[in-house]
Amino acid sequence: MTREVVLHIYDVTNCDSEKTNNTILQINRIFKDRIGLGGIFHSAIQVYGDEEWSFGFCENGPGVFSCPSGKNPMYTYRERIVVGETDCSLLKVKQILRELSREWPGESYDLLSRNCNHFCDMFCERLGVPKLPGWVNRFANAGDTAMVVAGNTAFRIRKAKEDIITASKVAYKFLASKASFPQTSPESPSNTNGAGTPRFQGTWLRSLASLGAKPSGSTFDVNDPGEETLPPGNQRSNERFQALSYSSVVSSKTDNIQHIPSDHEKESLEKTTDSTVDGWNDIFYNARQAVTGAVSYVENRAKEVSDEVTSQLQQLYDSYPYLENVIVPVGSTICATLLAWFVMPRILRKFHLYASRNPLALLSGHSIEEQIPYEKGVWSALEDPARYLITFLAFYELGIMIAPTTSQYLPQAWRGAVVLSLVWFLHRWKTNVFARFMEKPPVFGLDRDKVLTLEKISTMGLLILGAIALAEACGVAVQSILTVGGIGGVATAFAARDILGNVLSGLSLQFSKPFSLGDNIKAGSIEGQVVEMGLTTTSLINPEKFPIIVPNSLFSSQVIVNKSRAELYACVMKIPMHIDDLEKVPNVTEEIKSAVSSNCGVSLDKELPYCFLSRIENSFLELTLGCNLKNMKKEEQHATRQDILVAAATIIKKHGAKLGGKSDDFYS
């Protein structure tokens, strides 16, 4: 048995709703096949045999299961990828599967963090082969990461909220305890620990820091080492505050005395609320001032360093004027040009390689397995415009140095170069996008012709907008010109009504699609095969193989018959017989109908073949034979008609009848 490890990929279409399944298929088609980003997939691993192994949800037992490779009935099979070859023996693989069955119970299944793709990753790792391509499980990994980030953010917000509430409670309790201390007169010498003194502020901050480091439900000792010893009266007030805050206090100094606050104490607590708010405002204000001061310091230091470097450079320039006027500008121009032409393409290729391996592939539209060449990516579209723009900028500075008198025109030239580079980049990018789109099967009902029409319209719109932007950048008042030239525009539009009619009719043909390339059509007296469809004209090849160029406006006023889209072709033929064979007509017509019905090119769906006597003259009579032919090529139609006529003539001769009438009476 082969050591090859094969990854089987399925589209997840196990929903009860057919609409949901189609939506998933469309998502996978767009995000995987078009963009290369990923999709919603189920995966399984096949190794040593015809069984594939995967992981799924179940209430009891292991979630690891197997089924015939590529035939999981719950999903729609998509593709197989050979991951590599394992060095493990068959016995080792069986041992690995037994271990994974124990490690991956069915109840542990999680759609985002522990699904079948994670199992296949682990299985490949145990087998010693590369893991799954990134696009297989990219959607689930992105969803899991988003959930983790959201959970961490919510946890941090809750933690910050709890810290703020805890700090506020501690500050409130401490300030309330301070408010309950006995107050002395301001003139009293003993008032050395008042609320407004530096001593009280230092004690308040140290106590607040020590309180904030403890759990909110813990008590504290007012005689804690390192704190200032409070007077006995203040100690008793603080113990009474503890009883008020916690409803009961476990303290060696208060003997678990319950205390009910009086009206006076309640008024004191209410009065301290305003002081608590003011205290926190001061803290935040001081913090903001500290941060502002630090930023200002860094800014001033940076300015000092910049001024010092500038003065040194100025001294160097003053000593060597030729350096500032020639060497630096010319050297900068040469360096910028060399970087633009030799270094920047390498950097853009690195960006292209990086973008092809992460979600930025949405910009350049390539997948991991099917690498889009650099020449068809967005970075390639940016290369030439950026290269010429940087080169122009370098020589722009050089031009200011060489010819200062022309500097008044250079800003307009610079703005024009930026506009041209932007339009050039957008045009190249658009061309690459449409080229990649044309290489894929059509989606959203957009076939090749409609895509080409959109490409032409977008090109015209981009050129018009680029011309307007370029004129504005060069100082031309486009709006004034359009306003003044309104009457001339109307006259021009009237003179070019035929061209505009052809263009509008061409757009209508591109989107309504009454015919496509290769169809045989007839419009009035014009008939032929369509070989080209443009915005103003349509080219045909008539039955005589002559080229015909038809204005598109003709199709808006003529009935268009598209023979190539007909499901059936009506075929009516006249067969003359001798007048003496009149009594043989019934048998002949019945047998002709049977012969025509048995022809493989005749359709029996909507109408059966018919054959009847339609005309009687003196010397001959005429049979009318009709049937519907299937949709086929013109050569096949002629061959089928010939077979029918030969069969009819054979039947007539078989019955002893003769064909009658003149040669020109036999027509079809």
What is the spatial distance between Cα 205 and Cα 283, in angstroms, rounded to a whole number?
Answer: 10
Angle at 330 (CA atoms; ends 326, 332), nearest 5 degrees: 125
What is the spatial distance between Cα 362 and Cα 364, in angstroms, rounded to a whole number?
Answer: 6
pLDDT of residue 377: 81
**Six token digits for residue 345:** 């393409």
Asked if 332 contacts 394 with a C-beta cutoff of 8 angstroms, the reply is: yes
Q: How far is CA 434 from CA 47, 169, 313, 446, in A?
A: 41, 65, 52, 12
What is the spatial distance between Cα 449 and Cα 221, in angstroms, rounded to a whole number?
Answer: 87
Helical pair 116-127 and 90-103, crossing angle rounded to 10 deg = 140
**Six token digits for residue 80:** 């197989």
Asked if 38 contacts 1 with a C-beta cutoff of 8 angstroms, the reply is: no
Q: What is the DSSP letter of 62?
A: B
Asked if 620 contacts 665 with a C-beta cutoff of 8 angstroms, the reply is: yes
CB atoms within 10 A of CB 523: 20
Among 69, 121, 127, 122, smallest CA distance to 94 is for: 127
Strand (E) positions, 537-597? Answer: 537-541, 547-551, 560-562, 568-578
What is the spatial distance between Cα 220 and Cα 210, in angstroms, rounded to a whole number?
Answer: 9
Among 206, 205, 251, smallest CA distance to 227 is for: 206
Among 266, 286, 267, smallest CA distance to 205 is for: 286
Asked if 595 contacts 549 with a C-beta cutoff of 8 angstroms, the reply is: no
User: Could you give the domains of the chain?
Assistant: 3-177 (3.90.1720.30), 330-356+373-476 (no CATH), 512-562 (2.30.30.60), 568-659 (3.30.70.100)
What is the spatial distance between Cα 665 and Cα 653, in angstroms, rounded to a whole number?
Answer: 19
568's CB contacts (< 8 A; 6+ apart) are 603, 605, 606, 628, 629, 630, 631
Which of 42, 118, 352, 366 is an active site residue?
A: 42
**Six token digits for residue 137:** 């499980």
Residue written as tokens 């703005």?
A: 415
What is the spatial distance between Cα 209 and Cα 213, in angstroms, rounded to a whole number?
Answer: 6
Among 26, 78, 24, 81, smallest CA distance to 441 is for: 26
**Six token digits for residue 230:** 């409070």
Q: How far apart are the first and last CA of the chain?
A: 68
Q: Which residues pair with 85 in a beta bridge?
A: 4
Backbone angles phi, psi at 196, to 5 degrees: -100, 0
Run means of pLDDT, 10 residues per run, the chain, 668 residues: 85 84 85 77 91 91 91 90 90 92 91 90 92 86 69 66 67 59 44 44 45 40 41 42 38 44 57 58 68 74 76 73 72 81 86 68 48 80 88 77 70 83 89 80 64 79 84 72 57 65 78 81 88 86 88 84 82 89 90 91 88 88 91 86 92 88 45
Residue written as tokens 């080169």?
A: 391
Which of 88, 116, 571, 611 is an active site residue?
A: 116
Strand (E) positions, 4-74? Answer: 4-11, 41-46, 51-55, 64-68
What is the spatial distance between Cα 634 and Cα 543, in angstroms, rounded to a whole number?
Answer: 11
**Cα Dmax for the chain:** 155
What is the spatial distance between Cα 412 and Cα 298, in angstroms, rounded to a whole number?
Answer: 39
CA dihedral sign of residues 480, 481, 483, 484: positive
HSE (side-chain half, CA atoms, 13 Å) at 649: 10
Q: Could you write out the DSSP letters of every residue in 79-141? A: EEEEEEE----HHHHHHHHHHHHHHSBGGG-BTTTBSHHHHHHHHHHHHTS----GGGSHHHH
What is the spatial distance between Cα 409 and Cα 432, in angstroms, rounded to a whole number?
Answer: 35
pTM of the model: 0.35
Angular region, 602: left φ>0, alpha ψ -120 to 50, beta rest:
beta
Angle at 662 (CA atoms; ends 661, 663), nearest 5 degrees: 125
Estimate to the nearest angstrom the gap between the alpha carbon of 529 and the chain centroid: 40
What is the spatial distance between Cα 173 and Cα 244, in angstroms, rounded to a whole number?
Answer: 10
CB atoms within 10 A of CB 332: 13
Residue 259: active-site member:
no
Among 485, 486, 538, 484, smallest CA distance to 507 is for: 538
Radius of gyration of the chain (CA): 45
pLDDT of residue 661: 66
